[in-house]
Structure 1
Amino acid sequence: GTPSEETNGAKVPMAAAGLFDEFDAALIVHPGARTTVDAASLAIDAIEFTFLGKAAHAAGAPHEGINALDAVISLFNNLNALREHLTSDVRIHGIISEGGVAPNIVPERAVARFYFRAAERAYLNEVVGKAKKVAEAAALATGCRLEMCNFELSFDNLHSNKLLAATYKTHLEALGVTDIESPSGGKGSTDMGNVSQVTPAIHPSMCIGPKTLVGHTHEFCQAAASPEALAAMLVAAKAMALTGLDVLTDSTLRKQIRAEFAAGKR
C-alpha cells in the first residue's frame, strides 16, 4: 500500500515514473463489507470550474454586475441534463466550493468542483470533454470568464488480473475463508487502477463487518479498529504473501499472468 489511494494517490506518479514496470505482479487488499477477489474500479478526473464575473450591488445596481454564481448553477443544471445521454457506469458528483460573499453583492467569483467517473478511461475522456463544453456554455450564457483545471490527480480504471485473482482465492480458501462473493462492479476509484495499467494487479476486498457496512462512515472506522478486522487483515496478508510466493517460484504461472496482462493491453 501507499498513502492516499484516493484524492492525490501516491501510486499515480510512481506508476508514471515507471516504478512498477518491472514488477511481476502487484497486490493490495481493501477492507469492506464483503470478501471478493476480483474487483473493479472507475477511472476518475477531478475538475475545478472557476467562473469570474463582476461584482455590483445586488439591489442598487444589479445591471452592472455579472453573476458568477448563475454560471455555476447553469453548470449544475446542464450537467444534470447531460446525464441522460451517458452510459449507466458514469458518475458525476460535485459541490459549490465558492458561491459569493454576501447576498447583497453580485458574486464576482464562483467555483465548483466535480468528480467525473466511468468504467473505462477512454470513455471518461469523452465525458469530461462534453462537461467542459457545458461549462463553456454556462460562461457564454452569463458573460463570465471560465477557468478549468484538475484539482487532484487522475486515476485510471482497474484491470484485475483473473489468474492472479484465482491464485489469491485458492490461498484464501486454504486459510479457511468460505464466504467469497462475486464482485458487483466497483463504483469507487483508486490509484491502484494506474498500477494495473502497467503491471498485472489485483485489488480484492476482505470482509471486516456486517453486509450493511458502508465505506467512509463512522461505522466503517469503528469496524476497521475491531479485533475482527485485525484477524481478517492477517488472513488477507497471509494469502497475499502465499500468492506472491507462487508468482516468484512458479515460472509457468508467472508467464501466464503476464500473457493475460499483455492480451488485455491490446
Structure 2
Amino acid sequence: MQLQQASTADRPRSGGATRWAAPRDAAPPPQGGLDLIEQFGTRRLARRGQEFYAAGDPAQFCYRIVSGCVRTVGLDEDGRRQVAEFLLPGDLFGFDSLDTHHLSAEALTDTVVVCYPRRAVDALAEQHPGLARRLRDLTLRNLRRAHEKMFLLGRKSAGERVAAFLLEMAERTAPGAEGTHIALPMTRADMADHLGLTIETVSRTMAQLCREGAIASCKSGIEIRDREALANFCAGGTRH
C-alpha cells in the first residue's frame, strides 16, 4: 500500500468535540530501547479504510501509531471475518510477523503512523540487546492479549464480553476516570466480529448498560458513568 507523506495539516482531527480526548492522541516517540529505531522511521498518513498490508503480504515494514485507530483482521476456517485487535496511538504493529503477515491491517480512521523497514530494525536489534529485549517484550505482550481474548470468548457470556471490551477501551484511553468520553471509532459490526457476537447482541447489551447507568451513548463513542457498575457487569454481577 502506498501511504501518503504526513504533514501537520494532514493530522486527523478528533471530530470537533473538544472535550473528547482521542486515545493517547499524538503519542510521543517510544523510549527505553525502542527509540533507537526512530532514525529509520518515516511518518505516513493512511486515510480511513486504507490497508497497510494484507494477510500473506511480505512483512517488509512495521509501524507505530501516532494518531488514529487501526484494526487487524483475519478469516476463520469458514471464511468469516474476525477482528483480532484494535490498535490505538502509541501501539506498534507488524513487529510480530515472520516473513509474511498472517493478518491484514486497516485504518479505521484517518491515521498517522511512523513506518520502519523491517530489515533495518532487525539488523539494529542484533547490535543492541536492549532493543531486542523490547521487541521480545512486545511480542510477548501481544501473545498475552491473544490468550486473554481466548479466555474472554471461551468463558464469558455475550453481555460480559461487551462489558469487558468497553472496560478495556476505557482503561486504554482514560484509566480510572469517571464521566469520561471514550471515542469508539469501530462500528458495531467491528465489535461483533471482535467478540464473536452478532450486531444485535452488541447493540442490545449497549442499550442495557445505558439503562443501568453504567454508560451513556454519545456521538462517536460512550461516556463512562459508573466504572464500578461496568466492571461488575463484566464479572457477571448482571447477566445478559
Q: What range is the shorter-chain TM-score in?
A: under 0.3
In our comparison, the structure showing a higher alpha carbon Rg is: 1
Give the TM-score of the pair, scaled to structure 1: 0.24
Q: Which has the higher helix share?
A: 1
Q: Give the structure, 1 or 2, with the largest relative contact order (CA under 8 Å, sep 6 or more).
A: 1
Give the TM-score of the pair, scaled to structure 2: 0.26
